[in-house]
Amino acid sequence: MAPQIALTSIAKGTGAVMKTGILISLALSGLALTACSGTTVYPRQGVKPALGFPVTNNETPYSSCLASLASVPGNNLPTFAVGEVADKTGQIDRTTNGTVLSQGVTEMMISAFYKTGKARLVERFDLRIPLAEARMVQQKMTTRSTAPLPVRASDYVVMGALTELNYNILSEGAGLWIDGIGGGGRTVVINVGLDVRVVNSQTFDVGYVSSLQKQIFGYEVEANVFRFFGSRLVEFDAGRIQNEPLQLGVRSVVEMAVYQIMTDYLGLPKRPECQLEKTDFMSDFLKNQQGDSK
């Protein structure tokens, strides 16, 4: 910008050039002083950080369903190993060059099984550190003098993938502006899909498969006022945007999948309020198609 200012000023005369040069010099001097004394305006121990909300537990509406299983009698617990539950949607956020969905779905599933209180968990997803520890014990590089205990075998391995992320299943909106004053609102619905399977560790049989999806809702309400005061346009804008967290939706389908494994597959009792919500959207579509062809 500085060359443009100088050229414009030259066109207006030598006096303007001198005035512009003085202003630029003063501005640069101020920046230099700020750079030199930036930390002196703060206490020596630094500034007090702004604190937001406290740390809380991380639950979904289905966490209580998982926790309710812990009260079921019986201690002959199955042993689960959770394999990779990958993000296979292929969705990338181009603004951040990162993935849209969580890459920690395996960890979410491990947490969900732990919440049930009715499953033993053995590590199979990342064995790098446990195997390194075992080798160090064998080579007598640690303070442990006894041989490592046998590794517990798993009864079942659970694996799968996030397979769907569909944008803009539904978007609606309405607005009205009269003489620069008005407001509007809009809603949007997207969904995520998860496919998981349970594999018998001894026979490699796939004993159970679940395919789930969850729709995620968001809305926006806005109000605007545009007014001219003299020759100046003044805008006042107020609004509210509230979206169901996308990753909370992912965790929700994971927890429902684990609840299904524990109840539908292993036979633990269900709670009525934890039943899967079943829809007839697709079957109704086929029925309507047949009706239209007649």
Q: Give the list of residues 6+ apart from residue 192 with CB closer than 8 angstroms, or none.
A: 101, 162, 164, 165, 213, 214, 216, 246, 249, 250, 253
Question: Which tokens hold the place of 5?
Answer: 């200012």
pTM above 0.85, yes or no: no
Q: How many helices (H) and strands (E) does the chain have?
A: 7, 8
d(CA 262, CA 68): 11
| Range(s) of the domain holding residue 190 | 53-287
Question: In the chain, which ranges are continuous DSSP H helix?
Answer: 2-12, 14-36, 63-68, 105-116, 128-138, 246-260, 281-293
Can you give the pLDDT at residue 6? 38
Last residue of a domain, one of 52, 74, 89: 52
**45 and 103 co-located in one domain:** no
Q: Is 192 in a helix, a strand, or coil?
A: strand
The CA-based angle 207-209-211, given to 5 degrees, is: 175
d(CA 87, CA 66): 23
Please count the structural domains in the chain: 2
Phi/psi of residue 157, nearest 5 degrees: -120, 130
Can you give the pLDDT at residue 187? 85
Q: Give percent helix, percent strand, percent coil of the chain, each to the nearest 5.
A: 35, 30, 30
**202 and 258 co-located in one domain:** yes
**12 and 57 co-located in one domain:** no
Residue pair 138/130 in contact (Cβ under 8 Å)? The answer is: no
**14 and 97 co-located in one domain:** no
Residue pair 174/200 in contact (Cβ under 8 Å)? The answer is: no
- DSSP for 142-176, written as a single string: SS--SPPPPPPPPSEEEEEEEEEEEEEEEEEEEEE
pLDDT, tens digit only, all 294 positions of the chain: 444 433 333 344 445 545 555 555 655 555 555 555 556 788 888 898 989 999 999 999 999 999 999 999 998 999 999 999 999 999 998 888 899 999 999 999 999 999 999 999 999 999 999 999 888 888 888 888 777 788 999 999 999 999 999 987 777 777 776 766 677 777 888 999 999 999 999 999 999 999 999 999 887 777 777 665 666 656 666 777 778 889 999 999 999 999 999 999 999 999 999 999 888 877 777 777 776 666
**117 and 17 co-located in one domain:** no
**24 and 78 co-located in one domain:** no
d(CA 27, CA 22): 9
**203 and 244 co-located in one domain:** yes
Domain CATH code at residue 191: 3.40.50.10610
